[in-house]
C-alpha cells in the first residue's frame, strides 16, 4: 500500500502510479499538454511541474511515480509561476491567430493560457515563420502553431505504428513532417488529428466550415465500414455531420479510427444519394412516391407468390444493414412470401468459414476479444492483410509484435512488413502446399497435442507434399518453412487470424489445413470481417437453412417451437444459398428478387454472368442508398438510410452486439425495416414496429442466443458472447480431408481482388474524402511479374480473362505483392475485377471457390 499526500490530502494506492494519475484519481487537476493517455511518457512540455518534498527540483507529474510517504504540492506560487512561464515560452512562436484557427474553442493551449495567463507576451522579436502546408488532400499542417509536444509522432510511432511522420530538425527548428515534407504517404488513420492539442495538424475536410462551438449535438454511434465495430462520435449541426471523431478510451477501438471510419462519413452527405423511390417505366427509372413504389412491389410480389409460390423468390440481405433490418427481412420472406431463399455476400467467406470451424471446435469458437491479439505471444495471419481489411484489429497484430510476439504472415500483408518475424508467401494458387508444409513442420517441432484422436488420425491421412514439390509450387525454400515452425515452436498463447482470401482458390482444403494448424497450435481463431454486421446476418437467421439464433430450420422441433413462439410460419425446407439462387435465376427457376443493400452484379465472382442471369428476372427490387450497378437494373429502386441515419444493432467479429444511434434524419431514404414492414403490410402481414427497439425485443424472443440480452444490456459486457450464458463447446473435434471443388488450371498470373485500406466494398467510392486519397483503381503486381509481361509502372493495361471479359486500368509495380498475382481493387465504377473470375460451389457450405485461370495482360496505347 502506497500512501501519498497531495495538497494535504492523503490518497492510498495498491500499486505505484504517476503523480498525475494519483492526483487525478483524487480529483486534483494538474494541467498537461504533452501528456496523452495511452502514449509513451514524454515529460517535455513541463506544464505539469509539481513540488515534491525532499526533491530539490520541480518534478513532472506525468512521469514521476509516487512512492510511499511522498508529499506533493500542485498549486504553490512557484508552480503557478512556472506554468505561466512555460506558457509564455510556448507563445514565443505560437501565433495568436485564434480568430482564424479552426482549433479555437477546443484548443488545449488556449484553455491553459486562459487559466494561467501569460496575458502579455514579452517576446519582442518576430515569431518563427513556416508556411502552412496544403500539399495533402486530407491533412493540413501548420507548423507555426506546433508546440512540439510530439503527441502526433508518438501516436504514429507507438500506437498506429505507421511511423509516417517524424520530428525533423531540432531545438526551435523542430517541425513535424511526413517523409516527403509535403503530401503524406501514410495510412490516413487521422489519429494524429485526435491528439494534436493545437491547430497544427488539422483535417482539411471541414476547414473553416464551422467553429468548435457550432456543434449542436454529439452522437455516439458505430462506424459502418467493417466488422471491428469501432465507436465514434458524430458531431452534428442542423442535420449535417460536421465531422466524425473518436473519443480516447471509448469503444473497443479505445479512441482509434482508420481512414474509412474517420473520413468516409462524407458518403452520408453525398449528393449521389438516392432521395426518392424509382420505378421503371418504359425502360427508364422514374421518380415516384413511396406509396406508388411500395404498392407496385406488393402487387408484383403478391402476384408471383400466388401463381408460383415462395420458392420463386430470391432474397439478398446485407451485412451493412442492422440486425433489425435483416431480421425483419427474413420474417418478410418467411412469413409473407413463405420462402427460405435468403442469403448474402457473407457466403463468400465469413459464413462458411465460421460454420466450418464451429463444426470442428464448437459454437462460438471465433468469438474472441480483439484486444486478446495484442496479448498473444504469437500471431499467425492467413488469407488477407488485417491492417487493411480490419485496420483497428490490425493494430493489435502490430502491438503484439511490439510486445515481442512472433508474427507469422502467410499472405500478402504489406501492413505487417516491419512487424512480421517471418513472411513465407506462396505463389498464388499454391497456398495449400504452404499450409500443409507448415502443418507438417509444426507437428515436427511442437508434436501433436493428443486432444483429439479423430483429428490426429485424419492428419495422419494427409498426403504430404515432398520438399521438392513444395519449393517448385510455392517458390519457398524448406528453410523458410522451418523458420516459421521455429518461431511457433514455443508460444503458448497464439492467435490465428484468417482473412477472406483463404477461400478464394483453396476452398475447404485451405480451411481444413488451417484448422489442423489451429489444432496443433491450440490457437484462438479470428475471422476478418469486411463489413460491419456479417455476424448479425447469421444471428438474425438471414440464411437459407437457419432460424434467427442459428438453429437449423429443417429440424422440425426447432421450427415448430419457433413458429409457436413467434406466431409466424417458416417453410420446412431449407432455401437456396446465394450462388444456388443465381444458378436458379439463370435457369428461370426464380422470378423475383429483392436485393437489400448490396450490389451483387459488381461484388460477386463471375459478376457479368450474375448480371446476365438477373436481367432475366421478371421483377427485381433493389433497396440501396446509391444507384449501384445492380440498382440500375431494377424494376423498383427504394432509397435506403445509411448507418448514421439509423438506430439498431451490429454484431462485430468478436460477436459483440453494439448499438447504433441515429445522428441525423436521412435525406430521403428509409431504414430497411421500415420499407420491408411497409411492403409486408400491403401484402397482408402486419408488422407493427415503432422503433428499432421493438424489433430488438422481437429478436430476443426469436433467438435463443440473444434471449437474455435486454436493450439496456447492449452497452455493457452482457452483450458480449456468450451473452451471459455458458459457451457451448459442441464441436465434433473431427475433420475430414475435403474434396477439391474446382480443377486448378494454369500456373501463370492470376488476378485477385485487392483489399484496400482506403476503400471497402462498392460504396466507399461515393466518399469524396476517400477518393481524394485514392480515386483510381490500379493493377498492382510484383516487379518480376511486371517484367515477365513487359509492363512498367504506370502503364495503361488491359487484363483479359478466359471467360472473355476484360478490364482496363493503370498498372502499379510494387514488390510488396509477393505472390506473383495481379491485384485489382473491386471498388471503382467501370472496373469490376470480379467479372474476370469464375467459381465452383463447395457443396457442404455453399461457398464459391474460384476457378483460377491464366489471365492475359497487354499494354493499351
Partner 1 sequence: MQKFLLKNVDNPRSTDIREYRKSGGYKGLKKAVEMEPGKIVDEVKKSGLRGRGGAGFPTGMKWDFASRDPNFPKYLICNADEGEPGTFKDRHILERDPHLLIEGMVIAARALKVGRGYIYLRAEYPAAEVILDKAIDQAYKEGLLGENITGKGFKFDLSVHRGAGAYICGEETALIESIEGKRGQPRLKPPFPVNVGAWGKPTIVNNVETFSNLPLIIEIGPEEYSKIGNPDCPGPKLYCVSGFVEKPGVYELPMGTILRDIIYKHCGGIKGGGKLKAVIPGGISTPILPPDKIDCQMDFVNLPKAGSMLGSGAVMVFDESVCLVSVCMRAMQFFEHESCGKCTPCREGTGWLSNILERIENGMGRNGDIELLLEVASNISGKTFCPLGDGAAGMLLSFIKYFSDEFDHHIENRKCMVN
Partner 2 sequence: MITEEIIKKIQQKKGDYPVFRSAIMSALHEIQNTEGWLSQESLYKVSGMLNIPPATVKGVATFYHMYRHVPMGRNIIQICTNVACMIMGAEKLVDLLKREFGIEAGGTTGDKRFSLVIMECIGACGTAPAMLVNDDFHDNLDEKRVMDILNGYK
82 binds, among partner 1, partner 2, none (CB under 5 to 8 A by kind): partner 1
689 binds, among partner 1, partner 2, none (CB under 5 to 8 A by kind): none
* Distance from C-alpha of 51 to C-alpha of 828, rounded to nearest angstrom: 60
CB 845 within 8 A of CB 352: yes
**Cα 625 versus chain centre, distance:** 20
Nearer to partner 1, 109 or 502 (CB): 109
Least distance in Å: CB of 50 to partner 1? 12
* Distance from C-alpha of 617 to C-alpha of 601, rounded to nearest angstrom: 13
Q: Which residue is listed with cell 411500395?
A: 294
Least distance in Å: CB of 390 to partner 1? 31
Least distance in Å: CB of 170 to partner 2? 5
Position 80 contacts partner 1 (CB under 8 A):
no
Task: Enumerate residues 144-163 that contact partner 2 by CB under 8 A.
Answer: 157, 162-163
Position 414 contacts partner 2 (CB under 8 A):
no
Considering only 46, 446, 561, 701, the residue that binds partner 1 (CB under 8 A) is: 46
CB 450 within 8 A of CB 522: no
Position 99 contacts partner 2 (CB under 8 A):
no
Which residues neighbour 125 within 8 Å (Cβ) at sequence distance 6 or greater? none
Least distance in Å: CB of 65 to partner 1? 8
494, HSE (Cβ side, Cα atoms, 13 Å): 21
Least distance in Å: CB of 363 to partner 1? 43
x-marked contacts with partner 1 along 164-203 as a string, rule CB under 8 A: ---x-xxxxxx-----------------------------
117 binds, among partner 1, partner 2, none (CB under 5 to 8 A by kind): none
Considering only 23, 28, 45, 773, the residue that binds partner 1 (CB under 8 A) is: 45
CB 657 within 8 A of CB 706: yes
Task: Enumerate residues 137-156 that contact partner 1 by CB under 8 A.
Answer: 147-148
147 binds, among partner 1, partner 2, none (CB under 5 to 8 A by kind): partner 1
| Nearest residue to 190 (alpha-carbon basis) of 110, 124, 256 | 256
* Distance from C-alpha of 699 to C-alpha of 568, rounded to nearest angstrom: 13
93 binds, among partner 1, partner 2, none (CB under 5 to 8 A by kind): partner 1
* Distance from C-alpha of 164 to C-alpha of 157, rounded to nearest angstrom: 8
177 binds, among partner 2, partner 1, none (CB under 5 to 8 A by kind): partner 2
Nearer to partner 1, 59 or 368 (CB): 59
Position 7 contacts partner 1 (CB under 8 A):
no
Nearer to partner 2, 181 or 616 (CB): 181
Position 15 contacts partner 1 (CB under 8 A):
no
Position 366 contacts partner 1 (CB under 8 A):
no
CA torsion angle for 548, 550, 555, 558 (degrees, to 10)? -50
| Nearest residue to 412 (alpha-carbon basis) of 378, 382, 380, 436 | 382
CB 399 within 8 A of CB 428: no
Peptide bond into 722 cis (omega under 30): yes
261 binds, among partner 1, partner 2, none (CB under 5 to 8 A by kind): none
* Distance from C-alpha of 321 to C-alpha of 542, rounded to nearest angstrom: 12
From the CB of residue 685, how many other CB atoms can be counted at a distance below 10 Å? 15
Least distance in Å: CB of 167 to partner 1? 7
Position 86 contacts partner 1 (CB under 8 A):
yes
Phi, psi of 526 (to 5 degrees): -125, 130
x-marked contacts with partner 1 along 603-632 as a string, rule CB under 8 A: ------------------------------
Least distance in Å: CB of 808 to partner 1? 45
Nearer to partner 2, 162 or 298 (CB): 162
Considering only 27, 99, 169, 567, the residue that binds partner 2 (CB under 8 A) is: 169
CA torsion angle for 678, 683, 684, 686 (degrees, to 10)? -20
Tell me, by CB under 8 A, how many residues bind partner 1. 34
* Distance from C-alpha of 499 to C-alpha of 537, rounded to nearest angstrom: 18
Position 58 contacts partner 1 (CB under 8 A):
yes
* Distance from C-alpha of 538 to C-alpha of 599, rounded to nearest angstrom: 19
Nearer to partner 1, 154 or 611 (CB): 154
Tell me, by CB under 8 A, how many residues bind partner 2. 16
Q: What end-to-end distance do the CA atoms of the chain give, in Å?
A: 76
CB 529 within 8 A of CB 390: yes
Q: Classify each residue of 391-424 as buried b or exposed e, where b means 16 or more C-beta atoms within 10 Å of its C-beta.
A: bbbbbbbbbbbeeebbbbbbbbbbbbeebbbbbb
Nearer to partner 1, 148 or 363 (CB): 148
Q: Name the segment binding partner 1 (CB under 8 A); options: 81-89, 687-695, 713-721, 835-843.
A: 81-89
Least distance in Å: CB of 165 to partner 2? 6
Nearer to partner 2, 417 or 859 (CB): 417
Considering only 79, 149, 152, 178, the residue that binds partner 2 (CB under 8 A) is: 178
| Nearest residue to 781 (alpha-carbon basis) of 828, 825, 815 | 815
Position 170 contacts partner 2 (CB under 8 A):
yes
**Cα 608 versus chain centre, distance:** 27
Position 168 contacts partner 2 (CB under 8 A):
yes
Position 92 contacts partner 1 (CB under 8 A):
yes
Q: Name the segment binding partner 2 (CB under 8 A); options: 40-48, 175-183, 467-475, 820-828.
A: 175-183
Position 4 contacts partner 1 (CB under 8 A):
no
Position 279 contacts partner 2 (CB under 8 A):
no
Least distance in Å: CB of 167 to partner 2? 6
* Distance from C-alpha of 424 to C-alpha of 484, rounded to nearest angstrom: 8
Least distance in Å: CB of 622 to partner 1? 55
Taking each helix axis as running N to C, give the angle between helix 467-474 and helix 478-487, from 0 to 180 degrees, rounded to the nearest 10: 100
Nearer to partner 2, 170 or 463 (CB): 170
| Nearest residue to 134 (alpha-carbon basis) of 46, 203, 61 | 203
Phi, psi of 120 (to 5 degrees): -135, 120
Cell of 748: 501463370
8 binds, among partner 2, partner 1, none (CB under 5 to 8 A by kind): none
The number of residues in the chain equals 861
Which residues neighbour 569 within 8 Å (Cβ) at sequence distance 6 or greater? 334, 335, 338, 563
Position 418 contacts partner 2 (CB under 8 A):
yes
Considering only 26, 38, 43, 402, the residue that binds partner 1 (CB under 8 A) is: 43
DSSP characters for 535-593? Answer: HHHHHTT-SSSB-TTS-BTTSHHHHHHHHHHHS----SS----HHHHHHHHHHT---EE
Task: Enumerate residues 42-61 that contact partner 2 by CB under 8 A.
Answer: none
Q: Name the segment binding partner 1 (CB under 8 A); options: 89-97, 478-486, 512-520, 695-703.
A: 89-97
Position 423 contacts partner 2 (CB under 8 A):
no
Q: Which residue is listed with cell 467479372?
A: 835
Q: Show the CA angle centred on residue 756, arms to residues 755 and 759, nearest 5°.
A: 115
* Distance from C-alpha of 620 to C-alpha of 637, rounded to nearest angstrom: 9
Nearer to partner 2, 179 or 711 (CB): 179
Least distance in Å: CB of 491 to partner 1? 21
DSSP one-letter code for 618: S
Residues in the site for partner 2, rule: CB under 8 A? 157, 162-170, 177-180, 185, 418
Residues in the site for partner 1, rule: CB under 8 A? 41-47, 49, 56-58, 63, 81-82, 85-86, 88-90, 92-93, 122-125, 147-148, 167, 169-174
Amino acid at each position: 500500500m502506497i500512501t501519498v499526500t497531495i495538497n494535504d490530502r492523503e490518497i492510498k494506492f495498491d500499486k505505484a502510479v504517476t503523480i498525475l494519475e494519483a492526483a487525478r484519481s483524487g480529483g486534483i487537476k494538474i494541467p498537461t499538454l504533452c501528456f496523452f493517455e495511452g502514449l509513451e511518457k514524454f515529460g517535455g512540455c513541463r506544464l505539469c511541474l509539481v513540488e515534491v518534498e525532499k526533491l530539490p527540483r520541480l518534478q513532472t507529474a506525468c512521469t514521476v511515480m509516487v512512492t510511499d510517504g511522498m508529499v506533493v504540492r500542485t498549486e504553490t506560487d512557484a508552480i503557478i509561476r512556472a506554468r505561466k512561464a512555460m506558457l509564455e515560452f510556448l507563445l514565443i512562436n505560437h501565433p495568436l491567430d485564434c480568430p482564424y484557427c479552426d482549433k479555437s474553442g477546443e484548443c488545449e493551449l488556449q484553455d491553459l493560457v486562459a487559466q494561467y495567463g501569460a496575458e502579455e507576451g514579452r517576446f519582442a522579436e518576430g515569431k518563427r515563420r513556416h508556411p502552412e502546408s496544403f500539399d495533402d488532400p486530407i491533412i493540413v499542417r501548420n507548423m507555426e502553431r506546433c508546440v512540439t509536444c510530439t503527441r502526433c509522432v508518438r501516436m504514429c510511432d507507438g500506437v498506429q505504428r505507421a511511423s509516417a511522420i517524424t520530428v525533423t530538425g531540432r531545438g526551435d527548428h523542430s517541425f513535424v513532417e511526413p517523409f516527403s515534407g509535403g503530401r503524406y504517404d501514410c495510412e490516413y488513420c487521422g489519429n494524429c488529428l485526435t491528439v494534436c492539442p493545437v491547430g497544427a495538424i488539422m483535417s482539411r475536410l471541414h476547414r473553416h466550415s464551422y467553429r468548435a462551438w457550432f456543434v449542436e449535438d454529439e452522437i455516439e454511434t458505430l462506424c459502418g465500414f467493417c466488422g471491428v465495430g469501432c465507436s465514434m462520435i458524430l458531431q452534428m449541426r442542423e442535420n449535417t455531420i460536421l465531422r466524425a471523431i473518436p473519443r480516447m478510451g471509448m469503444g473497443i477501438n479505445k479512441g482509434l479510427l482508420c481512414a474509412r471510419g474517420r473520413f468516409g462519413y462524407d458518403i452520408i452527405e453525398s449528393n449521389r444519394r438516392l432521395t426518392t423511390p424509382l420505378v421503371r417505366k418504359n425502360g427508364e427509372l422514374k421518380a415516384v412516391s413511396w406509396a406508388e413504389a411500395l404498392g407496385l412491389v406488393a402487387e408484383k410480389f403478391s402476384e408471383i407468390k400466388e401463381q408460383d409460390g415462395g420458392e420463386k423468390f430470391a432474397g439478398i440481405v446485407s451485412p451493412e444493414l442492422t440486425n433489425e433490418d435483416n431480421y425483419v427481412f427474413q420474417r418478410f420472406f418467411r412469413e409473407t412470401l413463405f420462402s427460405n431463399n435468403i442469403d448474402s455476400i457473407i457466403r463468400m467467406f465469413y459464413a462458411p468459414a465460421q460454420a466450418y470451424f464451429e463444426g470442428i471446435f464448437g459454437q462460438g469458437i471465433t468469438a474472441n476479444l480483439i484486444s486478446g491479439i495484442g496479448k498473444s505471444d504469437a500471431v499467425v495471419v492467413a488469407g488477407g492483410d488485417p491492417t487493411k481489411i480490419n485496420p483497428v484489429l490490425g493494430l493489435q497484430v502490430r502491438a503484439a509484435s511490439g510486445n515481442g510476439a512472433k508474427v507469422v504472415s502467410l499472405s500478402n500483408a504489406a501492413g505487417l512488413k516491419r512487424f512480421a518475424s517471418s513472411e513465407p508467401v506462396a505463389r498464388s494458387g499454391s497456398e495449400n502446399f504452404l499450409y500443409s508444409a507448415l502443418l507438417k513442420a509444426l507437428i515436427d517441432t511442437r508434436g501433436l497435442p493428443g486432444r483429439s484422436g479423430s483429428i490426429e488420425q485424419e492428419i495422419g491421412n494427409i498426403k504430404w507434399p515432398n520438399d521438392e514439390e513444395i519449393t517448385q509450387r510455392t517458390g519457398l525454400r524448406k528453410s523458410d518453412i522451418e523458420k516459421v515452425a521455429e518461431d511457433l515452436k514455443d508460444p503458448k498463447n497464439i492467435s490465428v487470424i484468417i482473412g477472406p482470401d483463404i477461400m478464394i482458390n483453396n476452398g475447404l482444403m485451405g480451411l481444413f489445413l488451417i484448422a489442423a494448424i489451429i489444432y496443433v497450435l491450440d490457437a484462438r481463431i479470428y475471422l476478418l470481417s469486411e463489413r460491419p454486421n456479417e455476424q448479425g446476418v447469421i444471428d438474425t437467421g438471414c440464411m437459407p437453412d437457419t432460424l434467427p439464433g442459428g438453429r437449423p430450420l429443417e429440424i422440425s422441433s426447432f421450427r415448430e417451437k419457433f413458429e409457436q413462439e413467434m406466431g409466424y410460419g417458416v417453410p420446412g425446407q431449407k432455401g437456396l444459398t446465394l450462388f444456388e439462387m443465381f444458378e436458379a435465376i439463370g435457369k428461370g427457376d426464380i422470378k423475383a428478387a429483392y436485393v437489400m443493400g448490396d450490389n451483387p452484379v459488381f461484388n460477386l465472382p463471375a459478376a457479368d454472368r450474375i448480371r446476365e442471369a438477373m436481367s432475366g428476372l421478371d421483377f427485381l427490387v433493389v433497396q440501396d442508398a446509391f444507384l449501384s450497378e445492380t440498382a440500375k437494373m431494377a424494376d423498383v429502386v427504394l432509397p435506403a438510410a445509411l448507418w448514421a441515419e439509423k438506430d439498431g444493432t451490429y454484431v462485430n467479429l468478436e460477436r459483440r452486439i453494439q448499438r447504433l444511434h441515429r445522428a441525423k434524419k436521412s435525406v430521403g431514404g428509409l431504414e430497411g425495416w421500415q420499407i420491408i414492414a411497409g411492403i409486408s403490410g400491403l401484402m397482408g402481414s402486419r408488422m407493427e414496429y415503432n422503433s428499432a427497439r421493438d424489433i430488438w425485443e422481437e429478436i430476443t424472443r426469436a433467438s435463443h442466443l440473444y434471449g437474455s440480452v435486454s436493450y439496456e444490456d447492449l452497452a455493457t459486457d452482457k452483450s458480449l458472447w456468450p451473452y451471459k450464458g455458458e459457451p457451448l463447446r459442441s464441436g465434433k473435434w473431427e475433420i475430414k480431408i475435403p474434396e477439391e471443388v474446382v480443377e486448378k488450371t494454369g500456373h501463370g498470373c492470376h488476378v485477385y481482388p485487392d483489399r484496400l485500406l482506403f476503400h471497402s466494398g462498392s460504396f466507399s467510392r461515393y466518399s469524396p474524402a476517400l477518393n481524394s486519397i485514392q480515386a483510381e483503381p490500379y493493377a498492382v503486381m510484383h516487379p518480376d511479374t511486371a517484367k515477365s509481361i513487359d509492363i512498367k509502372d504506370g502503364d495503361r493495361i488491359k487484363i483479359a480473362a478466359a471467360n472473355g471479359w476484360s478490364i482496363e486500368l493503370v498498372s502499379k509495380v510494387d514488390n510488396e505483392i509477393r505472390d506473383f498475382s495481379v491485384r485489382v481493387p473491386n471498388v471503382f465504377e467501370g472496373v469490376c475485377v470480379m467479372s474476370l473470375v469464375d467459381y465452383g460451389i463447395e457443396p457442404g457450405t455453399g461457398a464459391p471457390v474460384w476457378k483460377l485461370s491464366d489471365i492475359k495482360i497487354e499494354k493499351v496505347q
